[in-house]
Amino acid sequence: MIRSLASAAPPPKASRQKKDALFELAARAAIAAEQARSGGVAAVEKAAKAESRRYLRTGLELVASGIDVEAIDLAFAAAQASAAASTAAGDGGPELELRLSLVAVKGIASGEHPYVLMRRMTARLGSEYFEKAESWILERIRRRRVRGDSLVVPGDMPDVVRSLALDKAGLERAIRTAGRDVTAAALAGCPQESVDLAKPLFGKIGGAVLEDDAAYLRSRLSGDEIAQAQSAFLDVVKGLEEGGDLVLGEADSVDEDPAFVAELTRSILGLDAATIKAALRASDGRLLAAAMQGMEPAAHNRILQALPNKDARRILDAIDEADPLPRGAVRSAGRQVASLLLAAAKAKKALKPALERLAAIRDWPD
Amino acid sequence: MIQWNADLARRLACREEEKRALAPLIRRLMELDRKARSSGFLSLEEELREADDPLLAVGLRLVMEGLSGEALEDILATYLLAEERSGWPFLKACVIVEGLIALAESDDPSFMARKLVAYYGADRALAVLEELERPEPATPAAGR
């Protein structure tokens, strides 16, 4: 249902130069949206102070003052009349800027994801800015590499996600049917592994949005609200299964050997950053990504923090691109990584217990 | 269902022979839906490369990213209005947008078809629906 068509008007015409300037304004607004989600009112106030364009600055000030999203149009009523008059006089620039700023301000006030907001804003500039917006977003993703903390709400959700992930189309159907808002809220209470299984289904940008939204909601929703979202997600899965649209796989084939995961994790947490860096900075990203499927999130963080940013990004890219692997493949990768770590640990004269633990993993039986 | 205003309705007007070209387009959108449902949305990458309409290419990319609901509709409607199409190109664009929204909502192909045949008008919608639900004729490039 194309509801927006009936009420929307064509975007006013503006010069290329004005549109380029508005692209920059959209980028600043998207960054403000990002900061607002992590820094709250203080971040919005700071962005308002730094903003030179009147409409966006005023809008940010209104958001910082706690204005209701519904009241934003009303607050700009006089400005809308004046901008429309400019358009009638042949200059659509002010009206285009106002419309774009209103989209920005409403998005920031409602906590919309900055990349979705960037898409919305730049749509007003025409399809020729689509690729430019995409490049901008991808660059932000490339630079932003933060693995969120996990908050695990007890329940079946992680196991169900793992089972669904055996058939990617099945997991995707469940997520799309549940809706991204419900899914992000449900994933907010899952280990990072669940997010890692879901996000490749939506490409780099969509995956980053899902991961960010889950992290954002983790800090905003109560445990009960997250549990409700998980219950709603599981109801959707059940409904799809009963309707024959979905078949839950047997999780065992990707489920890791808990003893192996615990031991590999403990070994990595027991190593110093220099040893990890020496062993893994030049390692094959795909190998490490596969091995990381057999580690707990604490070990992921330990490795990524030990590596230089460039190498950490390379590994994270490989994780994004990796499919969930069967137990045997993960274990094999884990053994190879243990072997690399063991060589580095010996060279750094690590303590005997650390060496023994790594050797045990290297020789872990099938 | 669809909220039209008088100006938009006027822009939709086109010749009957032009309207006939809608069926292959609807078939193609239904095919995208089937493929997404069976192999996942990222499998639409190939269709994305072959998309001859910029609105379809942009919309598919957004749907693959997981965008849906009000945000998707807002973005696609904005592109649609910015292009100032009218007549057959506008009708085609409306069907593409409506189809992409249905795709993003995970409508099954037959439900999608029921939404899209409305663009034929009440007098022809049922006949076209019957035609669409018959097995596809052997023209793999139809609608492209």
User: pLDDT digits over B81-120, tens only?
Assistant: 887 788 899 999 999 999 999 999 888 899 999 999 888 8
A117-168 confidence digits (pLDDT tens): 999 999 999 888 999 999 999 999 988 766 566 667 777 888 889 888 888 8
**Separation in Å, CA A262 to CA A214, A246, A299, A342, A343:** 25, 32, 10, 17, 21
How many angstroms separate the CA atoms of A13 and B110, rounded? 39
CA distance B16 to chain A (A): 23
Kindly report the CA angle at A53 between A47 and A54, in degrees rounded to 5? 100
* Facing A116 at nearest CB: one of B2, B4, B71: B71
* Facing B79 at nearest CB: one of A7, A127, A176: A127
Yes or no, beta carbons of B64 and A124 under 8 Å apart: no
Task: Name the H helices within A124-222.
Answer: 130-143, 157-164, 168-178, 180-187, 192-198, 203-220
CA distance B76 to chain A (A): 8
How many angstroms separate the CA atoms of A285 and A283, rounded? 6
A178-230 confidence digits (pLDDT tens): 998 999 999 999 988 889 889 989 999 999 999 999 999 998 999 899 999 99
Place of tokens 């060589």: A343
Tell me: pLDDT of A244 over 80. Answer: no
DSSP A165: T
* Facing B8 at nearest CB: one of A5, A175, A206: A5
User: b/e for A134-153, b at 16 or more Cβ within 10 A?
Assistant: bebbeebbeeeeebbebbeb
Q: Find the chain A residues whose C-beta atoms sit closer than 8 A to any C-beta of B.
A: 1-11, 112, 116, 119-120, 123-124, 126-127, 130, 134, 168-169, 172-173, 175-177, 179-180, 201-203, 205-206, 209-210
* Facing A124 at nearest CB: one of B8, B78, B84: B78
| Chain B residue with minimum CA distance to A173 | B37
CA distance B130 to chain A (A): 22
Task: Name the H helices within A65-112.
Answer: 72-75, 77-88, 93-109
CA distance A309 to chain B (A): 26
Q: Quickly state the pLDDT bin for A55 (edges 50, 70, 90).
A: very high
**Separation in Å, CA B100 to CA A280, A328, B40:** 44, 40, 15
Exposed/middle/buried for residue B24 (C-beta within 10 Å: 0-12, 13-18, 19+): middle
Exposed/middle/buried for residue B60 (C-beta within 10 Å: 0-12, 13-18, 19+): buried
ipTM for the complex? 0.84
* DSSP run (H or E) holding B45: helix B45-50
How many angstroms separate the CA atoms of A331 and B52, rounded? 46
Q: Against a cut of 0.80, is the pTM above it? A: no
